[in-house]
Every structure is written in structure tokens, then in C-alpha cells.
Amino acid sequence: NAGVTQTPKFQVLKTGQSMTLQCAQDMNHEYMSWYRQDPGMGLRLIHYSVGAGITDQGEVPNGYNVSRSTTEDFPLRLLSAAPSQTSVYFCASSYSIRGGTEAFFGQGTRLTVV
């Protein structure tokens, strides 16, 4: 039982490049979400999904796309990377909509855009 797995752990992109951050969970959780974490700040919600085929925007969605074709996977796509997207990205899953007790986070992807 791996929990929430994110890949890659580190990535450097050039401005304008695109890439996909992968997130997979093996707990059969309905709810998944992506956060970004910047120095001195808490986590800010980018996008979330309440089930396969259903996604919605969070607090900071601009520049990111998501899709949820299966319960297990919730990839985050950067369409045209910008230096402002340099951050640490966390994927989380939960079987509760509250994202509380049952929320599990991945280890994070540290992204640098140059």
C-alpha cells in the first residue's frame, strides 16, 4: 500500500515548456486535490476532483489543467511554464470531502522554472 505517489520529485523547466506532474493513489479515495506551497506560505489549492470525470478550480488555478479519467490518477498539467510557477506541489487524496482526518499527502514535487 503506497498511499499517494507523486512523480517526479524534482523538475527544472525552461519558461514556456509544458509538463505533467503525476499523482496516483491506491486507497480508492474519491477526492483528490493539488496544492502549491511557496516559502513562508501555507498550501494553496490549485484544482480538486470529487470523483472520476469531475474536476473543479481551487484558489489559484490559472496556468494549470487537470483531468480525472480514473479514480487512481490525477495529473496536473502546466501548459506553458512561467517562473511564477516555481514552487513545491503536493497532491492529496481523501475519502471525505472535508479533507481532514482522512487526507493523505504525497511527498511533493519541487519544480523550478528558469
Partner 1 sequence: GESVGLHLPTLSVQEGDNSIINCAYSNSASDYFIWYKQESGKGPQFIIDIRSNMDKRQGQRVTVLLNKTVKHLSLQIAATQPGDSAVYFCAENIGDSGYSTLTFGKGTMLLVSP
User: Among residues 69 and 112, whose Cβ is nearest to partner 1?
Assistant: 112
Q: Which stretch binds partner 1 (CB under 8 A): 17-25, 70-78, 105-113?
A: 105-113
Q: Which stretch binds partner 1 (CB under 8 A): 20-28, 70-78, 90-98?
A: 90-98
Q: Does 74 bind partner 1 (CB under 8 A)?
A: no
Q: Does 61 bind partner 1 (CB under 8 A)?
A: no
CA distance 79 to 28: 28
CA distance 33 to 25: 11
| 3 state DSSP class of 85 | helix
| 3 state DSSP class of 58 | coil
- Considering the complex, what minimum distance in angstroms separates the CB of residue 1 from partner 1? 16
Residue showing cell 490518477:
73
